[in-house]
């Protein structure tokens, strides 16, 4: 089977979301052929090191979601002379873009049209209309940054029933929106579909999934979506949070996840935030609607998707795994009693809250110590946050002339050269920050046979089960009491740690993950084999076959 693996900000780049997971997937499925089609998020990532592809990767193509647009087939720096485009073609571009924009800002955009027409249909019509025009006329980039695009956006914002958040959009706001939409829609202009493929596998629901939707639209290629840590859905796909939601209800910063990175707008500008948030919602929903199958990375994400009702993309959970070879069991320390916190030192990880909990732990167990090991931040790090936490620790738990009971270090230093070394000290692993899906640090601790105390966020309960202590999020007294109980009973901590490792080996092994996707590929790709064979026949090509000794498609 030939599979197009679609990524954004991850594989094949050495650093990025799900890069290691994609690498293990490719190595674990040597019977399939892969084309890796990757979108980079910034120039440093594009220039940086890349993971060497295994032998079953036929080609690797990359395209930027940053910088100026480049039309399909044009040399770098070339632009289309839109002043020479016929009026009829310009009207077709404007009509398709107006349909897409109308779905972002519902109102009286077509006086003769019934208002009951689903906005999802308008978005899809506009999206695939632009895709067809991009394929026939060399791309969209320059047109989407033209005055015509700004005029279309301005018209939908001034419509009678447009949300209040967008009615006051200025020209500068519309230019910012057009610029971000051009970046997010670049997959429509990419020449990535020169031959038929049996399956598109998109990691996330952003522009990478948009590339899969184009393949489905043009060639009937089925789309598989895998989501780990779906921040977009958590923020925006709850009932009632749809296009046109007031900007005050939308989070100002969604981080560099999926399409949120490509279209992230200036914080505080209500029209920009409202329009881009509506686009993120519409694209995610279209991806869900067009997917043959969705494989969320945790049961909580699956339940949220199932709550929206059944459909062709009925989800199936396929859990992530952090690479078990890196995490072998190590004995827990018993003297002095130590809490270990491993993870990013960022504001959303509640490190300051943990320091206040530790003050309560010290009041009950004066010999207790806290070891904070910071891992690399995602994107641009808040360099001042760790310094503020150090100062807070000195105030809350003063050393009084002796070594401080709270120590801070970072992965990559002489003391902690690698992530695996972070778990060489500390008896009880603690985590309390926000979690979307399975927290990686928690799974790593389970593989290290560590006793765990965690707050109940994300998929923590599904991961830990009864092998750790999980307390309500924000309950400082319960968290401190759980820590004290394990510090005072090392034997219980050792039993819980051993049970946690056994559970991790069962739930998060590489073999289990690869076997699950092999089964998914067989199921979803069966439709794709037929579609690609038909497309190949129409093009006068031989059907694509997997490495099965000539027995036919996998």
Burial of 267 (0-12, 13-18, 19+ CB in 10 A): exposed
Q: Residue 238's domain is classified under what CATH number?
A: 3.40.50.2000
d(CA 446, CA 370): 19
Is residue 356, in this structure, part of any structural domain at all? yes
Q: What is the pLDDT of residues 141-194, one digit of tens each?
A: 878 888 889 999 999 898 877 888 888 889 999 999 999 999 999 999 888 766
pLDDT for the residue numbered 507: 80
pLDDT confidence of residue 302: 58
CB 148 within 8 A of CB 90: yes
Containing 5, the helix (H) or strand (E) segment is: strand 2-8
Q: What pLDDT, on the 0 to 100 scale, is given for residue 249?
A: 30
Instruction: Give residue 251's domain range.
Output: 2-71+178-306
Copy the structure tokens of residue 58: 């036929």
Domain endpoint, select from 259, 275, 306: 306
Rounded Cα distance between 384 and 33, Å, is 46
Instruction: Looking at the structure, tell me whether residues 169 and 195 fall in a common domain.
Output: no
Considering the domain architecture, whether residues 102 and 56 belong to the same structural domain is answered as no
User: Based on the domain organization, do 299 and 330 belong to the same domain?
Assistant: no
Quickly count: other Cβ atoms within 10 Å of residue 82's Cβ: 15
Q: Is residue 212 part of a domain?
A: yes
How many Cβ atoms are within 10 Å of 450's Cβ, its own excluded?
27
Residues 6+ apart with CB under 8 A from 366: none
Q: What does the pLDDT read at residue 38?
A: 93
Question: How far is residue 290's CA from residue 205's CA, in Å, rounded to a whole number?
Answer: 11
Question: Residue 277 burial by CB count (10 A; 0-12/13-18/19+): exposed, middle or buried?
Answer: buried
Count of the separate structural domains present in the chain = 3
Give me the count of residues in the chain.
554
pLDDT at 140: 83
388 and 301 inside one domain: no
457 and 481 share one domain? yes
Q: Which of 113, 148, 175 is the last residue of a domain?
A: 175
Q: Are residues 28 and 95 in the same domain?
A: no
User: Which residues, given as ranges, of the chain have pLDDT below 50?
Assistant: 71-84, 108-111, 113-114, 231-261, 264-268, 309-315, 323-326, 528-554
* Inside any domain, residue 201: yes
- Secondary structure (DSSP) of 467-516: SSEEE-TT-HHHHHHHHHHHHH-HHHHHHHHHHHHHHHHHHS-HHHHHHH
> Which residue bears the tokens 């991961």?
463
On whether residue 554 sits in a domain, the answer given is no
Distance, first Cα to last Cα, the chain: 5
pLDDT at 137: 80
Residue 548 lies in a domain: no
Is residue 50 included in any domain, yes or no?
Answer: yes
Going across the sheet that includes 406-410, the strands are 406-410, 369-375, 338-344, 428-431, 451-455, 469-471
Residues 248 and 369 in one domain: no
Say whether both 364 and 477 belong to one domain.
Answer: yes
Q: In this structure, what is the dihedral angle of CA atoms 83, 89, 92, 93, given to the nearest 10 degrees?
A: -40
The rounded distance, in Å, linking the Cα atoms of 135 and 315 is 31
67 and 211 inside one domain: yes
**28 is a domain residue:** yes
pLDDT (tens digit, 9 = 90+) per residue, 2-32?
A: 999 999 988 998 766 678 788 888 999 999 9
Provide the b/e sequence for 142-172 (b: ≥16 CB within 10 Å).
bbbbbebbbebbebbbebeebbebbeebeee
pLDDT attached to residue 143: 84
Residue that terminates a domain, selected from 279, 306, 333: 306
Task: Tell whether 252 and 355 lie within a shared domain.
Answer: no
Residue 499 and residue 360 in one domain: yes
Residues 358, 496 within the same domain: yes
Does 544 reside within a domain? no
- Whole-angstrom Cα distance, residue 494 to residue 496? 5
Please name every residue paired with 339 in a beta bridge, in sequence order, or none if there are none: 370, 428
């Amino acid at each position: 089977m030939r599979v197009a693996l679609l990524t954004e900000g991850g594989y094949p780049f050495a650093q990025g979301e799900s890069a290691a997971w994609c690498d293990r997937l490719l190595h674990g499925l040597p019977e399939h052929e892969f084309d890796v089609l990757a979108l980079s998020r910034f120039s440093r990532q594009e220039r940086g090191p890349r993971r060497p592809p295994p032998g079953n990767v036929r080609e690797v193509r990359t395209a930027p979601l940053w910088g100026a647009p480049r039309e399909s087939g044009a040399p770098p720096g070339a632009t289309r002379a839109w002043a020479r485009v016929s009026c009829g073609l310009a009207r077709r571009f404007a009509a398709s873009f107006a349909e897409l924009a109308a779905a972002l800002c519902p109102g009286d955009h077509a006086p003769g049209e019934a208002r009951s027409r689903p906005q999802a249909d308008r978005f899809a019509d506009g999206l695939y209309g632009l895709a067809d025009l991009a394929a026939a006329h060399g791309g969209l980039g320059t047109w989407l940054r033209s005055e015509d695009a700004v005029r279309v956006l301005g018209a939908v914002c001034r419509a009678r029933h447009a949300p209040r958040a967008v009615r006051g959009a200025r020209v500068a706001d519309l230019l910012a929106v057009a610029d971000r939409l051009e970046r997010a829609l670049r997959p429509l202009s990419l020449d990535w579909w020169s031959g038929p493929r049996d399956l598109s596998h998109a990691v996330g629901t952003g522009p990478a999934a948009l590339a899969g939707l184009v393949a489905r639209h043009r060639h009937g290629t089925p789309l598989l979506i895998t989501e780990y840590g779906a921040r977009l859905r958590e923020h925006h796909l709850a009932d009632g949070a749809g296009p046109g939601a007031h900007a005050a209800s939308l989070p100002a910063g969604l981080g560099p996840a999926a399409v949120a990175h490509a279209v992230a707008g200036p914080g505080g500008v209500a029209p920009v935030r409202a329009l881009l948030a509506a686009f993120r919602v519409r694209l995610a929903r279209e991806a869900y609607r067009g997917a043959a199958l969705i494989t969320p990375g945790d049961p909580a994400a699956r339940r949220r998707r199932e709550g929206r009702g059944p459909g062709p993309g009925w989800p199936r959970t396929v859990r992530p795994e952090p690479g078990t070879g890196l995490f072998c069991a190590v004995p827990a320390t018993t003297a002095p009693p130590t809490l270990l916190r491993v993870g990013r030192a960022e504001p959303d990880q509640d490190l300051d809250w943990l320091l206040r909990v530790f003050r309560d732990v010290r009041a009950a167990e004066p010999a207790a110590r806290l070891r904070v090991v910071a891992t690399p931040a995602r994107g641009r790090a808040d360099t001042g946050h760790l310094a503020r936490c150090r100062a807070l620790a000195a105030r809350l738990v003063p050393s009084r002339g002796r070594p401080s009971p709270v120590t801070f270090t970072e992965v990559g230093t002489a003391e902690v050269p690698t992530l695996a070394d972070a778990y060489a000290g500390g008896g009880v692993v603690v985590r309390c920050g926000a979690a979307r899906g399975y927290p990686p640090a928690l799974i790593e601790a389970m593989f290290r046979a560590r006793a765990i105390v965690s707050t109940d966020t994300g998929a923590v309960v599904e991961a830990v089960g009864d092998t750790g202590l999980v307390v309500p999020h924000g309950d400082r007294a319960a968290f401190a009491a759980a820590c004290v109980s394990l510090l005072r009973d090392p034997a219980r901590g050792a039993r819980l740690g051993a049970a946690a490792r056994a559970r991790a080996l069962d739930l998060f092994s590489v073999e289990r993950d690869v076997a699950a996707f092999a089964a998914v590929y067989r199921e979803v790709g069966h439709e794709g084999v037929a579609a690609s064979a038909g497309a190949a026949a129409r093009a006068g090509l031989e059907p694509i076959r997997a490495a099965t000794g000539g027995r036919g498609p996998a």
